[in-house]
Amino acid sequence: MPADRLHLVRHGEVHNPRRVLYGRLPGYGLSADGRRMARQTAQYVHGLGRPIGALICSPLQRTRESAEPFTVLLGIEPVIDERVIEPTNVFEGRRMSRALMNPMSWSHLSRPEIPSWGEPYAMVVDRMQAAMGEAWRATERGDVVIVSHQLPIWVTHLAVAGLPARHDPRRRRCALSSVTSFELVGDVWRETDYAEPAATAGAVDVGAV
């Protein structure tokens, strides 16, 4: 039997005092509030009363730290999967407000439908759904939790909903420590729920690609 449900969990707030786009840069772990958010989300998933058969996370520090409360509550060690990592982005390490004012940056904004500033959305969706499908088939019982990042989760949502991948990053429905849930019906993913179980008022959320 395959898994019962799959939850894409976004990491908690990152310690980012310079407010840069951190992307895949090392050294960007959770803030104290981010750790609290991760605990609240793990408690929410645990409180659903559904057995968890697998825990997967991206290799970046903030997702590994966001997976830790799940290990504490559920006794499951996370499996690292490179396919659920943050996409690449040419603006990594820079403050976006300043980067966009620089004419040297404008060439990277020419094709937002791809996008021209980073890894193509289509490639992100393909690797995310490959990781999701493999985890679904390999989990004999219970749900799968995958701790990932805002953009991979959001473009997966768009793909499942049959919507264009091009979007305004400011309008993503994927809050810190949110949970977007799916099930696989035949060969088709279907979104079943979205939840924001963590208190995020006042959080700094400016570093997602």
Residue 106 pLDDT > 90: no
**62: three-class secondary structure by DSSP:** helix
Residue 79, strand partner residues: 56
Alpha carbon 10 to its chain centroid, in Å, reads 4
How does residue 184 score in pLDDT terms, banded at 50, 70 and 90? very high
Structural domains of the chain, ranges and CATH numbers in brackets: 6-88+119-195 (3.40.50.1240)
Residue 100 pLDDT > 80: no
Which whole-number Å values give the CA distances from 85 to 13, 43, 138, 185, in the listed order?
16, 23, 20, 25
Given this model, what pLDDT does residue 1 score?
Answer: 67
Which whole-number Å values give the CA distances from 159 to 71, 131, 155, in the listed order?
30, 15, 6
Residue 208 pLDDT > 90: no
Q: What letter would DSSP give residue 89?
A: B
Give me the torsion for CA of 4, 189, 70, 140, rounded to 10°.
40
Q: Over the chain, what is the mean pLDDT?
A: 95
Residue 172 pLDDT > 90: yes
Residue 191, strand partner residues: 182
Closest CA to 182 of 159, 206, 205, 198: 159
| Cα–Cα dist 175/177, whole Å | 6
Residue 97 pLDDT > 80: no
Q: Is the dihedral of CA 189, 199, 25, 63 positive or negative?
A: negative
What pTM did the predictor assign?
0.96
| Cα–Cα dist 135/147, whole Å | 13
Residue 190 pLDDT > 80: yes
Given this model, what pLDDT does residue 96 score?
Answer: 78
| Cα–Cα dist 84/9, whole Å | 11
Q: What is the mean pLDDT of residues 33-60?
A: 97
- What percent of the chain is modeled with pLDDT above 70? 100
Given this model, what pLDDT does residue 11 score?
Answer: 98
Better-scored residue on pLDDT, 207 or 19:
19
Residue 17 pLDDT > 70: yes
| Cα–Cα dist 153/41, whole Å | 16
Q: What is the mean pLDDT of residues 174-197?
A: 97
**157: three-class secondary structure by DSSP:** helix
Closest CA to 160 of 193, 135, 138, 136: 193
Per-residue pLDDT tens digits for 109-161: 889 999 999 999 999 999 999 999 999 999 999 999 999 999 999 999 999 99
Give me the torsion for CA of 144, 187, 82, 208, rounded to 10°.
-80
Given this model, what pLDDT does residue 209 score?
Answer: 82
Q: Containing H/E element for 154?
A: helix 150-161
Better-scored residue on pLDDT, 180 or 101:
180
